[in-house]
């Protein structure tokens, strides 16, 4: 039939299909799955999204296969043969991922949380700073059904189930971009992490001339001394009685001297 034809008949019910866990309301509970759903619900037809949620909850999606840059799925509609669904995004190459991993490894907190199996919210900003997107801005989607709507309810059902799978495993978001969980964590584990407590060592021979200069150390250049109020000692250790009054000018005078 020509593209644009729409069959309002109900779908053929199937057994053993993939079903959304949520029976009502929004789908997606974590920040990363909600980010994906927000994109979907901002650009797609609300009516077909509603029917797509119903398909997802009824178990009409037979299979979903995610590979770098592509998701393929089969959805049982009103016809005997299931419809074929394809959703594509850009998968980053090895050079791009090498840069991303170096940037993650340089952030000790991000690196630790990813190694612990968590997705830090700041990682989206890290991607943006490198000029790439973690979540797709646009989706290249296609369905073999004759419905002219975009996306159709079959595509919508797959996208909702995809978001729910992101809840279970946030690393699927990265796998879709071209990096599996094993690849990323293996790279981060091998990458030397930056130690925030590391201080550059200055050889003693290079500092011999000024090593004994007053106020000069390897980490505090000569002439830069701590600044403190001259009467700080009196305030920290108050003298007995009313001695603080006459002693304050004396301390200030010593500081000026």
pLDDT higher than threshold 50 for residue 219: no
Least confident of 26-40, 49-63, 91-105, 150-164: 26-40
Cβ(32)–Cβ(166) under 8 Å?
Answer: yes
For residues 208 and 130, membership in a common domain is answered with: no
For residues 123 and 181, membership in a common domain is answered with: yes
For residues 174 and 58, membership in a common domain is answered with: yes
Which tops the pLDDT comparison, 176 or 3?
176
Instruction: Provide the pLDDT for residue 217.
Output: 39
pLDDT higher than threshold 60 for residue 26: yes
Q: What is the 3-state secondary structure (H, E, C) of 206-233?
A: HHCCCCCCCCCCCCCCCCCCCCCCCCHH
Confidence of residue 257 (pLDDT cuts 50, 70, 90): low
Average pLDDT for 109-124: 87
Instruction: Provide the pLDDT for residue 250.
Output: 74
- With respect to residue 125, please indicate whether it lies within any of the assigned structural domains: yes
**Long-range contacts (CB closer than 8 Å, 24 or more residues apart) made by 213-220:** none
For residues 174 and 67, membership in a common domain is answered with: yes
For residues 49 and 99, membership in a common domain is answered with: yes
Instruction: Provide the pLDDT for residue 132.
Output: 95
Confidence of residue 131 (pLDDT cuts 50, 70, 90): very high
Instruction: Provide the pLDDT for residue 96.
Output: 96
For residues 230 and 164, membership in a common domain is answered with: no
Provide the percentage of residues in the chain whose pLDDT is more than 90: 39
For residues 123 and 52, membership in a common domain is answered with: yes
Tokens of 246: 């006459």
Backbone angles phi, psi at 63, to 5 degrees: -160, 150
For residues 43 and 166, membership in a common domain is answered with: yes
- With respect to residue 195, please indicate whether it lies within any of the assigned structural domains: no
Tokens of 132: 């790439």
CA distances from 159 to 34, 72, 88, 154, 204 (A): 12, 11, 11, 9, 63
Instruction: Provide the pLDDT for residue 231.
Output: 56
For residues 175 and 227, membership in a common domain is answered with: no
DSSP 176: H
- With respect to residue 63, please indicate whether it lies within any of the assigned structural domains: yes
pLDDT higher than threshold 50 for residue 200: no
């Amino acid at each position: 039939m020509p593209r644009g034809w729409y069959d309002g008949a109900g779908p053929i019910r199937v057994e053993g299909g993939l079903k959304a866990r949520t029976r009502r309301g929004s789908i997606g509970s974590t920040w990363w799955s909600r980010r994906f759903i927000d994109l979907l619900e901002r650009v797609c037809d609300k009516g077909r999204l509603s029917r797509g949620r119903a398909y997802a909850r009824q178990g009409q999606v037979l299979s979903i296969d995610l590979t770098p840059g592509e998701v393929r799925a089969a959805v049982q509609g009103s016809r005997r043969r299931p419809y074929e669904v394809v959703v594509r995004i850009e998968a980053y190459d090895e050079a791009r991922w090498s840069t991303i991993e170096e940037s993650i490894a340089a952030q000790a907190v991000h690196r630790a949380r990813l190694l612990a199996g968590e997705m830090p919210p700041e990682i989206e900003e890290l991607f943006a700073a490198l000029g790439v997107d973690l979540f797709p801005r646009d989706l290249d989607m296609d369905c073999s059904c004759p419905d002219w709507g975009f996306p159709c309810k079959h595509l919508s059902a797959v996208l909702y189930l995809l978001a729910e799978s992101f809840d279970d495993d946030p690393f699927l978001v990265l796998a879709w971009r071209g990096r599996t969980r094993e690849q990323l964590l293996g790279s981060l584990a091998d990458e030397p992490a930056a130690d925030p407590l590391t201080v550059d060592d200055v050889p003693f021979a290079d500092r011999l001339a000024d090593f004994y200069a007053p106020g000069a150390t390897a980490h505090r250049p000569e002439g830069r001394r701590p600044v403190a109020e001259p009467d700080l000692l009196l305030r920290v250790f108050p003298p007995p009685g009313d001695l603080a009054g006459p002693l304050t000018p004396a301390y200030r005078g010593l500081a000026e001297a």
